[in-house]
Structure 1
Amino acid sequence: MVLEQSVGAVIKLRPVEGIAEFLLLRNRRGFWGFPQGHKEKGETEIQTLVREVKEETGISELDIRSYIGKITYSYYRGDGVRSDKEVRFYYATTPTKEVKISEEHADFTWATLKDAFSLLDHAKLRQILDRGHQKGLY
């Protein structure tokens, strides 16, 4: 069994007057989630976060505000090996509304908090969004 470590971001658009909007990406399998990716050897979590957000969204102007929490889950990789994954999430803001998604994603949207809860397919991602909200981060 392999432990994979990833870092992800709940990104809020700023400055936005009125209703907050959060960036969601839809992967090629059709599931909505947050930008996230594998931590490479020698990288800090923040370095991974900045690199992955840039690679997946084209956003380079990112203000990382706070650690939100982590989720863990198990899955079977394409080669049949069971893998345990830990994803640590941070809250960040950006003034950049323009998104250029990578080839690993099919679509993106800026969603209100309520819409983000509805769109997120996995309960653990909804828990991360809720945890940041409960902490008063957004």
Structure 2
Amino acid sequence: MRPIRGVGAVVYRIKPDGTIEILLIRKRKGWWSLPKGKLKSNEPPLTAIVREVWEETHVSAEVIDVIGSVDYVISEPKGEQRKIVDYYLLRACKGRARPCGGDEQIVDVEWVPLAKALERLHRPRLKAIVRAAQSLFS
């Protein structure tokens, strides 16, 4: 079975005082996380991640760099499935962060200072992605 391919993002902004903030999302029955989603058929990854960030958070952002990938197994009704998510660093351009609602079931979207964001993230693989992104902020 082919792996599920997805894209995810560390979306950041730099406040006038120099504080770096990361955009976090929280789904209805979940922990704080990073925006991510599946690729549509024949959709380029860079197009997909900009779309996913907008759909989930109402924030427009530009891709700055590639961060890395995570590879893990999820439980599906048909059994275990391998999932590969490529993460990108995106700089916020405009938009007021707010939950998208709808099918995504995102109930909260929040700008969080970098250190606090690392504390809020539950999954070690997401913390590792944010740490890897730290060297790329500009």
Q: TM-score of the superposition, structure 1-length normalised?
A: 0.89
Spell out, residue by residue over 1:59-107, the C-alpha distance to the aligned partner (whole angstroms, 9 max, x if none).
23x1210000010110112x24211111100001113361131222111
Q: Does 1:45 align with 2:27?
A: no
In the alignment, the residues of structure 1 paired with residue 84 and residue 27 of structure 2 have an alpha-carbon distance, to the nearest angstrom, of 19
Larger displacement relative to structure 2 (108-117 or 96-105)? 96-105
- Which residue does 1:18 correspond to in 2? 18
In the alignment, the residues of structure 1 paired with residue 2 and residue 47 of structure 2 have an alpha-carbon distance, to the nearest angstrom, of 22
**Runs of 5+ unmatched residues, structure 1:** none
- Which residue does 2:118 correspond to in 1? 117
In the alignment, the residues of structure 1 paired with residue 46 and residue 113 of structure 2 have an alpha-carbon distance, to the nearest angstrom, of 25
- Which residue does 2:58 correspond to in 1? 58
Aligned identity (percent) is 28
Checking the alignment, whether the CA contact within 8 Å between 1:12 and 1:94 is kept in structure 2 is: yes
* Structure with greater strand percent: 2
Q: Secondary structure at the match of 1:95?
A: strand
Larger displacement relative to structure 2 (118-127 or 91-100)? 91-100
Q: Secondary structure at the match of 1:100?
A: coil
Larger displacement relative to structure 2 (98-107 or 82-91)? 98-107
Q: TM-score of the superposition, structure 2-length normalised?
A: 0.89
- Which residue does 2:75 correspond to in 1? 76
**Runs of 5+ unmatched residues, structure 2:** none
